[in-house]
Amino acid sequence: MRTAEDAHLEPGEIRLVSTGLVMELPPGMECQVRPRSGLALRHGLTLPNSPGTIDPDYRGELKVILQNLGARPVVLSRGERVAQLVFARFAAPAVVEVAGTEATERGEGGFGSTGTR
């Protein structure tokens, strides 16, 4: 995904950047927006909500939330690649309220409760 405008990010700054891209996804398809590893390595540039999700019912221009985690300002020129898109199919099950759930060996155990201590 490329920028539609020049952008300047100071260290620590978070900014919404236009891409000029508009898409219409079919039902059951999402688009994930992910950072580019080269920009992360060279400049500390990332997407703080990664992966971002574009739902199939969204209409409008795609914009990218960029954050400069580096120690120096980052200057992006119009047309520069700043993110990558991954398309994936998904299922949206119906949500049903229940009184309880079936018991499992793990139960309500949190981090580390699966034997990976």
H or E stretch at 76: strand 74-76
In the predicted model, what is the mean pLDDT of residues 84-106? 92
Does residue 94 carry a pLDDT above 60?
Answer: yes
Q: Do residues 17 and 66 lie in contact, with contact meaning Cβ atoms separated by under 8 Å?
A: yes
Inter-CA distances, 63 with 2, 18, 19, 33, 82, Å: 10, 5, 6, 10, 11
Q: What is the DSSP string of 49-69?
A: TPSEEE-TT--SEEEEEEEE-
pLDDT > 70: what percent of the chain? Answer: 96
Residue ranges of the domains in the chain? 7-89
Please write the tens of the pLDDT for every residue from 17-56: 999 999 999 999 999 999 999 999 999 999 999 999 999 9
Class of domain 7-89: mainly beta
Q: Is the pTM of this model over 0.95?
A: no
Q: Residue 69 contacts by C-beta under 8 Å, 6 or more apart in sequence?
A: 11, 12, 44, 45, 46
Give the HSE-up count for residue 88: Cα atoms under 13 Å, Cβ half-sphere.
12
pLDDT band for position 108 (cuts 50, 70, 90): confident
